[in-house]
Structure formats: C-alpha cells, structure tokens
Amino acid sequence: MWTKKLVTIITEKILEDELIDQFKKLDVKGFTVTDARGEGTRGVRSAGWDQSANIRFEIVCDGLTAEKVCSYLQTNFYANYAMIVFVSNVETLRNDKF
C-alpha cells in the first residue's frame, strides 16, 4: 500500500473547465468530478440549475501536487467563489497511477 493525498474540492460548476485546464498545468494525473448539492454559508446549492450548481473534484496525488493545487485554489478562488477544499491521507494499491 502507498500513502497518497486525496484533495477534495467542492465548488461552483462555473469553474469546472477552468479548473480542469489548470489541473493539467499543475501535473495532476487524473481526477473525478461529480455533481454536488447541499447548504452552507452561501446558501442552498442545487445540482438542478447550472447557475447555482456545485461540483466535487477528487484528486489522488502526491504531497507536492496536493500543495500546489491547494495553493492555487486559495490564491485564485477563495475570495470570490463558494469553495471548500480538504485534504486527507489515503492508501492506494497502485503507486504508479498517482
């Protein structure tokens, strides 16, 4: 088993294409994106209407890549968009994939 970082990002759907482009520049090898809904400090977020929809990215990566992704997100989006990011340790069976 190999210890990696799981970076989970919940944010506004409007950012999806921009984030995907940037993840490639930050050497992210892959990610999963799904629709998300819920309620927080910025109100209820529904997955039913694109203007108010949220998405959830999950990225399994090494520690350096996790730091680069988190730094980029905090610097460029935290002040103006609904976004939460959390990082946890995960164990993977395929070290070469991440």
**Domains in the chain with CATH codes:** 2-91 (3.30.70.120)
Work out whether strand 38-40 and strand 83-92 pair parallel, antiparallel, or are unpaired: unpaired
Give the tens place of pLDDT for each residue, 30-59: 999 999 987 767 555 554 545 568 999 999
Nearest 5°: the CA angle 89, 94, 98 is 65
Residue labelled with tokens 């990610």: 31
- From CA 8, how far away is CA 31, in angstroms rounded? 10
Give the tens place of pLDDT for each residue, 7-20: 999 999 999 999 99
